[in-house]
Structure 1
Amino acid sequence: MIRRRVLVSGRVQGVFFRDTCRRVATAAGVGGWVRNLPDGRVEAVFEGADADVARMLDWAGQGPRSAVVTDVAVHEEPPEGLTGFTVR
């Protein structure tokens, strides 16, 4: 089990990034959460198996169809045992 916090920059708000992220993470069996930040970025936490979290990191670099992702900053954190995925 690993945990990664990501900060996604670009045109990532108002493009269904959070809801799509929740659906993709739930399908992948990844726990965590996603939220919009006041500065226009999206912040998310992904917890799960290495391969599943890696898939979510790849997805965050693309986002949903209408998104234009310009940067993804990834930070390692200790897992907290999150289950389920929520939009904050």
Structure 2
Amino acid sequence: MNVSYLAHVSGLVQGVYFRASSQQMAIEYGLSGYAHNLADGEVEVLLCGEEENVDKMLDWLNTGPPQAKVIAVKTKKVPWQQYNHFSIG
């Protein structure tokens, strides 16, 4: 079943390749969506795809890449959204 989740990741998550690493992982899991920096220092991540793979990616977000220091990940299920790829911005 396809699902979409929106996550807000806080901590040391900007300037540590969090978005690029998120894109690599999302591609490995066959997910679409995006990862964007927010003005408050968080990273917003939209994940769209098979529920099992979205769950794996949500787990990964709790750690992120080695340089990151994730403090919290707030997630919410959102209506299904169709994206053709995973973008960063």
- TM-score bin (small chain): over 0.9
| C-alpha distance in structure 1 between counterparts of 2:81 and 2:50, whole Å | 13
Structure 1 segments of 4 or more deviating over 4 A? none
Q: What does the per-residue CA deviation read over 1:13-69, in whole Å, with 9 as the maximum and x for residues that have no partner?
A: 010000000011011100100000011000010000011000110011000001000
Matched residue type, 1:11: L
Contact 1:30 1:83 in 2 (8 A): no
Q: Which residue does 1:25 correspond to in 2?
A: 26
- Greater mean deviation of Cα atoms: 6-15 or 77-86: 77-86
Q: Which residue does 1:47 correspond to in 2?
A: 48
- Identity between Structure 1 and Structure 2 (%): 35
Matched residue type, 1:71: A
Contact 1:9 1:40 in 2 (8 A): yes
Q: Which residue does 2:60 correspond to in 1?
A: 59
Q: CA deviation at 1:80?
A: 1.4
| C-alpha distance in structure 2 between counterparts of 1:80 and 1:58, whole Å | 20
Q: Gaps spanning 5+ residues in structure 1: where? A: none
CA-atom RMSD, angstroms?
Answer: 0.6
